[in-house]
């Protein structure tokens, strides 16, 4: 599903967090939001998922204004994984993932075949089917992150918003999460993710949105956007950029 923002503006007090952001993200695209801390990545994601009402501007899903959708309807289209989810009480992994079916089930209705299929698909796609009966609090950070991704997938969303899905994870889990995210985007889900790791962004994104001070500096393919000049301008860091001859992957490292 296509997601468009028009003139999106949010103020925190008097300080603008994002200012007149116009973006158009196509169906099935994997788009990364990049920028320093406080550049507006999380705010932008929150507006897209309607967790935050913008002071000005609109978010559209295809031609539909998200503000006009019911909470439940919205949850069947957009799923979001927050930066840090704290689970109260000792739920099992399966119980957490099952909650993804909330928008589909009426009060007192129990999960049907279709719900069970969606839950199983979510568990398998994220590689946590074997952890189903484990206590969520006994898992490692990387495993937990996949549980919340599975929870989002159980919603069968058309758009997935991920706020720093790889933060705090080791290199193995970072790549594993991004591989899964890439597969999901290949199935037609539109994925928008905020990431700090430039190399992950460079090698997994279809397009990159570079943000600074709440405005969009640049949008485009990783090679066009993640240039030495842009990175110096936005992050204030001088880098070298190499492109591997063997696999064509970009490698950005500080000088």
Residues 6+ apart with CB under 8 A from 19: 9, 213, 214, 215
Query: Does position 87 bind other proteins by CB under 8 A?
Result: yes
Query: Does position 76 bind other proteins by CB under 8 A?
Result: yes
Can you state the angle between helices 141-154 and 113-125, rounded to 10 degrees? Answer: 150
Q: Which of residues 154-183 bind other proteins (CB under 8 A)?
A: 155
Size of the site for other proteins (CB under 8 A): 36
Q: What is the 8-class DSSP label of residue 195?
A: -
Figure out which of the listed residues 16, 40, 49, 54 binds other proteins, where binding follows CB under 8 A.
Answer: 49
Q: How far is the CB of 213 from other proteins (least distance, A)?
A: 25
Candidates 2-10, 12-20, 68-76, 228-236: pick the segment binding other proteins (CB under 8 A): 68-76
Show the DSSP H helices in the chain as ranges. 41-48, 71-77, 93-98, 113-125, 141-154, 171-186, 198-204, 222-225, 228-235
Put residue 168 in one of left, alpha, beta given phi > 0 → left and psi -120 to 50 → alpha.
left
Q: Any bridge partners for residue 81, and if so which?
A: 162
Distance CA 105, CA 99 (A): 10
Query: Does position 96 bind other proteins by CB under 8 A?
Result: yes
Query: Does position 91 bind other proteins by CB under 8 A?
Result: yes
Q: What is the 8-class DSSP label of residue 40?
A: S
Figure out which of the listed residues 72, 114, 233, 249 binds other proteins, where binding follows CB under 8 A.
Answer: 72
Query: Does position 189 bind other proteins by CB under 8 A?
Result: no
Q: How far is the CB of 110 from other proteins (least distance, A)?
A: 9
Figure out which of the listed residues 9, 11, 58, 95 binds other proteins, where binding follows CB under 8 A.
Answer: 95
- Please name the residue that has the structure tokens 């994002």: 18
Figure out which of the listed residues 7, 22, 90, 223 binds other proteins, where binding follows CB under 8 A.
Answer: 90
**Terminal Cα-to-Cα distance of the chain (whole angstroms):** 40
Question: What does the block give as tokens for 74?
Answer: 């919205």
Figure out which of the listed residues 8, 25, 79, 97 binds other proteins, where binding follows CB under 8 A.
Answer: 79
CA distance to 31, 167, 234, per residue, from 200 (Å): 12, 11, 18
Query: Does position 102 bind other proteins by CB under 8 A?
Result: yes
Query: Does position 239 bind other proteins by CB under 8 A?
Result: no
Figure out which of the listed residues 14, 37, 68, 107 binds other proteins, where binding follows CB under 8 A.
Answer: 107
Candidates 4-12, 14-22, 34-42, 65-73: pick the segment binding other proteins (CB under 8 A): 65-73
- The tally of CA atoms less than 13 A away on the side-chain side of residue 19 is 10
Binding site for other proteins (CB under 8 A): 49, 51, 71-76, 78-80, 82, 85-92, 95-96, 99-100, 102-103, 105, 107-108, 135-137, 148, 151-152, 155
């Amino acid at each position: 599903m296509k997601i468009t923002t028009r003139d999106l503006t949010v103020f925190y007090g008097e300080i603008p967090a994002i200012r007149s952001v116009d973006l158009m993200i196509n169906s099935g695209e994997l788009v990364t939001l990049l920028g320093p801390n406080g550049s507006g990545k999380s705010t932008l994601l929150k507006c897209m998922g309607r967790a935050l009402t913008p002071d000005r501007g609109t978010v559209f899903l295809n031609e539909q204004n998200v503000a006009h959708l019911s909470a439940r309807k919205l949850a069947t289209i957009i799923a979001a994984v927050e930066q840090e989810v704290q689970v109260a009480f000792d739920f099992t992994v399966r119980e957490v993932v099952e909650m993804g079916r909330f928008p589909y089930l009426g009060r007192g209705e129990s999960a049907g075949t279709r719900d069970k299929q969606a839950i199983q698909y979510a568990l398998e796609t994220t590689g946590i089917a074997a952890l189903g009966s484990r206590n969520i609090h006994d898992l490692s950070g990387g495993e937990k992150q996949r549980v919340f991704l599975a929870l989002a997938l159980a919603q069968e969303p058309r758009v997935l918003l991920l706020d720093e899905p790889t933060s705090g994870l080791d290199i193995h889990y970072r790549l594993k999460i991004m591989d899964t995210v890439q597969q999901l985007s290949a199935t037609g889900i539109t994925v928008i993710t905020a990431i700090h790791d430039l190399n992950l962004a460079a090698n997994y994104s279809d397009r990159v949105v570079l943000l600074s001070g709440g405005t969009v500096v640049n949008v485009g393919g990783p090679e066009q956007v993640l240039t030495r000049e842009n990175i110096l301008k936005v992050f204030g860091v001088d880098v070298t950029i190499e492109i591997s001859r063997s696999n064509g992957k970009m490698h950005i490292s500080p000088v």
